[in-house]
Structure 1
């Protein structure tokens, strides 16, 4: 057997852990890879809450997260800590997912140490540098730093080509979220909500910076007004960020039809999505999970980097105003034709199998020679368009 390629998979947030886990599992099935999970702890408790769901644990934990750090401070600390790891145990390739500060640090650190870098979920764009912030800026910078770009759709591929990325470095693989959902959804879970006859269940999640302050207050006002009508039960998953959690508690606590939930394990979260009559969220990941589960989604944003979910009819952009919030929820529940369209299961980012595709591509892209250096073998690459 030839030399095993060391691959570092950097993870900082819950969505990154969920989407990276299927790829780590797929890579570890091959003898030619030594795969190490590196946590930045941008979100706390990822190892116990998410990785354990997939029977994974961290190989390294970077000393980069401390409470109340600014984006720049976290980026700087992560770069320093990751740089030390790269020097101590140089990998042949680094992988990161999405558009977080962790992903940006992974791309920058790899480039500074001249290590190959692969970007999962590459090519997503809103075409507005400040929406969402800082994610749109992060993914544009990552796009210029990455060696390999694994995109969830042909739309994302076209975005990268338009920005000057060579087409031979772009691979349309689908999204590994579908692998994660397929691995977890069948597990039996007890849900934290009662079965109340005649009342709709709306699952709500809010965490984007663009919804901090006034937008969040407007959304909370919409939740309260609809809850008082006594026809809807709202289940609000509170993000640990104090700018979200404290306001939601202050505004929504004490209402009979409003239930404030702490973050839950991923299997329970999927069951909540699956059994909700409607999902209202500003999350990017839920725009991928909701359509494959056949659940209708109202997106609390003005734009999205995932136009595929709009095109398939599973979701609608509604912004954050109180009036739009109330109007759109009432329309979804009163318009049966619309509801049927939005609840039709769809796979806008492909079905399960993205992790295996990426694994196979990496297996052919990276191969060891006698000096343990890694080169690109493009002659043996499959046609991935």
Structure 2
């Protein structure tokens, strides 16, 4: 029997950690062949060169798609999506996959969904059905309507996908694949197993982490991109006033990323920030180890909602980027106000850790691979011309 060819498109650094265990399970499955396509910001050094980690983990790259248009604004995002459709259509034509897999809700994933749909290639969507109240939600739900198979991460997400009109027979609550990594970290992470300064370099001072530390990961909000600099300045000021050891990660390539990045650079020019060290990126498991031993995560990353829920890591979630997502009891929501951020960090740093399995129990990768091997490949949606 010929192996079923599964093309997985990775477009950004978070996407890789989200599906690493899926890639491994597909690669090891006797009836599946992995076609790994790396595109967009996952190829760019300024956003951490996720492709380096992919290669180091032993995955073979089937194709690369360079489609990011500089600018980090709404126009650049729209044009990057358009270029992605053009380039991915050619890649799919060459690879001839049996199924295309796309991840989550970034604007680049829309290009994957459109190209596969119009080429009549069955599309599987991981992490559909979630709500956030911003442009990502529109993208996510649009991909759901284009997708044929749905591997959602929570009961609430499954319910929403079915309410969107999708066939319940093709909607599966597998949990989130990133929880698979978190499970391994939780079982093995007694102490931080590496020195982040030595292994990842970064820039800034190197505060002592032995008595506890904070982690910050804050991205621009696409529909509030014009305020991204003001948003990051509030967090910078709160962290400065607290003067606690802090490891800070660079933002994603979203509209408004320039404002976030420039805000950080400008603030560093006028403040010593002796308590802060900055990183571009980190391997997924190392990042989870880092979070697992942190006093608190601050910002607006979905890792605070997903992996930190499973690990029980306290989170101060700032602003609207994660509105309405299913969550555990580890999250406190605050506005972009210095005093509110400071007070929440102080409280959360002392909080009792309460883990939650709202996003699964740690076996999503294998579940998804098994489903990809046995799901019928008939096209149960029809594109009308």
Task: Tell whether 2:300 aligns with 1:287.
Answer: no
Matching residue within 217, 221, 239 for 1:209: 221
Range with greater deviation from structure 2 (170-179 or 97-106)? 97-106
Q: Is the 8 A contact 1:239 1:262 kept in 2?
A: no
Q: After the TM superposition, which residues 123-272 of structure 1 pair with which residues of structure 2 at under 5 Å, given as runs?
A: 123-126=129-132, 128=133, 131=134, 133=135, 135-182=136-183, 186=188, 188-192=193-197, 193-195=206-208, 201-210=213-222, 212-214=225-227, 216-225=229-238, 227-228=240-241, 230=243, 232-239=244-251, 241-253=257-269, 254-266=271-283, 267-272=285-290
Partner of 1:47: 51
CA distance in 1, matches of 2:279, 2:238: 22
Matching residue within 103, 122, 126 for 1:97: 103
Structure 1 counterpart SS, 2:343: helix
Structure 2 counterpart SS, 1:346: coil
Residue 108 (structure 1) shift: 0.7
Q: Is the 8 A contact 2:229 2:259 kept in 1?
A: no
Range with greater deviation from structure 2 (162-171 or 112-121)? 162-171
Residue 306 (structure 1) shift: 6.0
CA distance in 2, matches of 1:52, 1:89: 19
Q: Is the 8 A contact 2:219 2:300 kept in 1?
A: yes
CA distance in 2, matches of 1:53, 1:248: 30
Partner of 2:292: 274
Range with greater deviation from structure 2 (287-296 or 112-121)? 287-296
Structure 1 counterpart SS, 2:196: coil
Residue 34 (structure 1) shift: 1.3
Range with greater deviation from structure 2 (7-16 or 271-280)? 271-280
Range with greater deviation from structure 2 (14-23 or 108-117)? 14-23
Q: Is the 8 A contact 1:178 1:351 kept in 2?
A: yes
Partner of 1:330: 346
Bigger Rg over Cα? 1
Structure 2 counterpart SS, 1:86: helix
Structure 2 counterpart SS, 1:70: helix
Range with greater deviation from structure 2 (233-242 or 30-39)? 233-242
Residue 317 (structure 1) shift: 1.7
CA distance in 2, matches of 1:15, 1:319: 24
CA distance in 2, matches of 1:90, 1:165: 26
Q: Is the 8 A contact 1:27 1:359 kept in 2?
A: yes
CA distance in 2, matches of 1:3, 1:170: 26
CA distance in 2, matches of 1:116, 1:206: 34
Matching residue within 69, 79, 85 for 1:73: 79
Measured at CA, do residues 317 and 57 of structure 1 come closer, stay the same or move farther in structure 2, by a change above 3 Å?
farther
- The CA RMSD measured in Å over matched residues stands at 2.5
CA distance in 1, matches of 2:258, 2:154: 34
Residue 16 (structure 1) shift: 0.8
Matching residue within 324, 344, 364 for 2:374: 364
Residue 243 (structure 1) shift: 2.6
Structure 2 counterpart SS, 1:102: helix
Range with greater deviation from structure 2 (179-188 or 279-288)? 179-188
Which consecutive unaligned segments of at least 5 residues does structure 1 have? 367-373, 378-385
Question: How many residues align structurally?
Answer: 353
Q: Quick one: higher RCO (CA 8 Å, sep 6+), 1 or 2?
A: 2
Matching residue within 316, 325, 331 for 1:315: 331
Partner of 1:381: none
Q: Is the 8 A contact 2:4 2:373 kept in 1?
A: no
CA distance in 1, matches of 2:343, 2:164: 38
Partner of 1:107: 113
Measured at CA, do residues 260 and 81 of structure 1 come closer, stay the same or move farther in structure 2, by a change above 3 Å?
same
Q: Is the 8 A contact 1:234 1:257 kept in 2?
A: no
Q: Give CA deviations for 1:232-275 in whole Å, capped at 9, x if unaligned.
A: 23332222643322211211453344414121322432232122
Measured at CA, do residues 30 and 233 of structure 1 come closer, stay the same or move farther in structure 2, by a change above 3 Å?
closer
Q: Is the 8 A contact 1:42 1:102 kept in 2?
A: no
